[in-house]
């Protein structure tokens, strides 16, 4: 598999390409299917979720398929009611309640395992299946605040006010995510990614002492390579080794080579085209894609991706231009 070869830092004629949220609203076939199913219904129906996972791979010939699910899926399995309106909303939980969450029963996420297994069976053997989970810190801030936020100030204040209890809560979530990722690997995922979507809000000290160790525990002893993605966090690049991942994803805020030098060029890196580029035109997309590829130079271990999820208003034509530019690159 090209993705696994890149993670092993083998010389390749071109880097592998996949992109975050590649199964989604920008695709007409996704929109057609979603006209029949709500988001929650699609996520919890393995046949539908598998079909959505496969759609972008069929259309673009990508090197990996990331399972269609949501970072909240394992929290629902822990008995937490969640609605999507369209983002996740739930009753806020105090740290004391999070610390008392039960262990994640693998059977409670068997639907995701079925999705992974169906995707693995349907795909070409050379195309990787990527499982994923939300990192403990990112899940914790949603639980504490009851939904999304631009600042998650309430949650950040709790981490300052009660760091010992926050550490325990992060530990409970880390154990659950380790189980959840293990279930996906057991079902056929070749690689997993841990999304720490909001960790960039933290200063370095809290990343190193709280969020990073919890993410590291989530990935401990997994029998497959792991990618750790911490967007909005250029200040954290020098400290990412707190999380012992095989690959680190980076967003678009720093040029790829600058970010890679901070992480260490002997470590595989994933990224980092600005998703907004895909709102322009094919010529601009191809040029920007070649710029990212050129920044990677001759260093082995580059996985081409966006610096964040694809935007819903992206045109299919521009995605085709990006994929072609990667595949034509030598």
Which one from 63, 70, 216, 246 is the annotated catalytic residue?
70
Give the mean pLDDT of 283-310.
Answer: 97
Cα-Cα-Cα-Cα dihedral sign, residues 263, 264, 270, 272: positive
Do 143 and 98 meet the contact criterion of CB atoms below 8 Å apart? yes
DSSP β-ladder status, 88-89 and 83-84: antiparallel
So what's the pLDDT on residue 97? 96
pLDDT digits (tens, 9 = 90+) for 233-276: 999 999 999 999 999 999 999 999 999 999 999 999 999 999 99
Q: Which residues contact 300 (CB under 8 A, 6 or more apart)?
A: 6, 9, 10, 11, 12
The catalytic position among 2, 26, 63, 142 is 142
> What is the end-to-end Cα distance of the chain in Å, rounded?
18
17 secondary structure, DSSP code: B
CA 308 – CA 276 distance, rounded (Å): 10
* CA dihedral over 216, 217, 223, 226, signed as positive or negative: negative
User: CA 124, 113, 146: angle at the middle one, nearest 5?
Assistant: 120
28 — pLDDT class (breaks 50, 70, 90):
very high
Separation of alpha carbons 35 and 170, rounded Å: 37
Which of 119-123, 147-151, 240-244 shows the lowest per-residue confidence on average (mean pLDDT)?
147-151
| Cα–Cα dist 217/329, whole Å | 37
- Active-site entry in 14, 34, 59, 253: 34
Q: Where are the beta strands (DSSP E) in 107-209?
A: 128-134, 191-195
| Calpha distance 184→128 (Å, rounded) | 13
| Domain locations in the chain as residue ranges | 2-328
* Length reported for the chain: 330
Residue 244 phi/psi, 5-degree rounding, is -80, 70
pLDDT at 220: 96
Q: Which of 21, 120, 156, 295 is catalytic?
A: 21
pLDDT of residue 87: 83
Contact by Cβ (8 Å): 324, 59: no
Are 171 and 101 spatial neighbours (Cβ–Cβ below 8 Å)?
Answer: no
Mark whether 25 is an active-site residue.
yes
Task: Judge whether 34 counts as a catalytic residue.
Answer: yes
Q: What are the C-alpha distances in Å from 186 to residues 49, 165, 180, 320?
A: 18, 32, 10, 32
- Out of 5, 9, 14, 25, the active site residue is 25
Flag whether pLDDT at 150 surpasses 90: no
Query: Domain 2-328 is in which class?
Result: alpha beta
Average pLDDT over residues 217-221: 97
- pTM, full prediction: 0.97
Do residues 234 and 253 make contact, with C-beta atoms less than 8 angstroms apart? yes
Of 69, 93, 66, 64, residue with least CA distance to 79: 93
* CB burial of residue 297 (10 Å; 0-12, 13-18, 19+): exposed
Token pair, residue 215, equals 């993410």
Strands 191-195 and 128-134: parallel
Split at pLDDT 50, 70, 90, the class of 229 is: very high
Sign of the torsion formed by the C-alpha atoms of 210, 211, 212 and 217:
positive
Does residue 71 contact residue 147 with C-beta atoms inside 8 Å? no
Positive or negative torsion for Cα 52, 53, 57, 62: positive
The Cα 50–Cα 122 span in angstroms is: 9
Look at residue 85 and tell me whether its pLDDT is greater than 90: no
């Amino acid at each position: 598999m090209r993705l696994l070869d890149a993670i092993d830092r083998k010389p390749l004629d071109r880097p592998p390409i996949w992109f975050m949220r590649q199964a989604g609203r920008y695709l007409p076939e996704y929109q057609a299917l979603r006209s029949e199913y709500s988001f929650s219904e699609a996520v919890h129906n393995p046949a539908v979720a598998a079909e959505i996972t496969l759609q972008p791979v069929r259309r673009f010939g990508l090197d990996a398929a990331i399972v269609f699910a949501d970072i909240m899926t394992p929290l629902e399995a822990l008995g937490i009611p969640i609605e999507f309106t369209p983002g996740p909303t739930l009753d806020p939980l105090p740290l004391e309640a999070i610390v008392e969450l039960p262990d994640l029963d693998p059977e409670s996420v068997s639907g995701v395992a079925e999705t992974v297994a169906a995707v693995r069976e349907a795909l070409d053997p050379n195309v990787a299946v990527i499982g994923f989970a939300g990192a403990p810190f990112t899940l914790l801030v949603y639980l504490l605040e009851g939904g999304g936020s631009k600042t998650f100030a309430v949650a950040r204040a709790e981490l300052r006010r009660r760091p010992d209890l926050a550490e325990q809560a992060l530990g409970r979530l880390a154990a659950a995510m380790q189980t959840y990722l293990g279930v996906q690997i057991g079902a056929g995922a070749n690689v997993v990614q841990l999304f720490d979507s909001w960790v960039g809000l933290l200063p370095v000290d809290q990343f190193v002492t709280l969020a990073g160790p919890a993410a590291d525990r989530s990935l401990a002893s997994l029998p497959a390579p792991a990618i750790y993605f911490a967007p909005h966090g250029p200040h954290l690049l020098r400290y990412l080794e707190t999380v012992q991942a095989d690959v680190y994803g980076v967003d678009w805020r720093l040029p790829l080579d600058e970010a890679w030098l901070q992480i260490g060029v002997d470590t595989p890196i994933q990224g980092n085209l600005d998703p907004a580029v895909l709102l322009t035109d094919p010529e601009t997309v191809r040029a920007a894609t070649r710029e990212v590829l050129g920044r990677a130079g001759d260093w082995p271990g580059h996985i081409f991706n966006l610096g964040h999820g694809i935007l819903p208003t992206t045109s299919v034509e521009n995605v085709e231009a990006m994929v072609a530019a990667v595949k034509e690159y030598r």
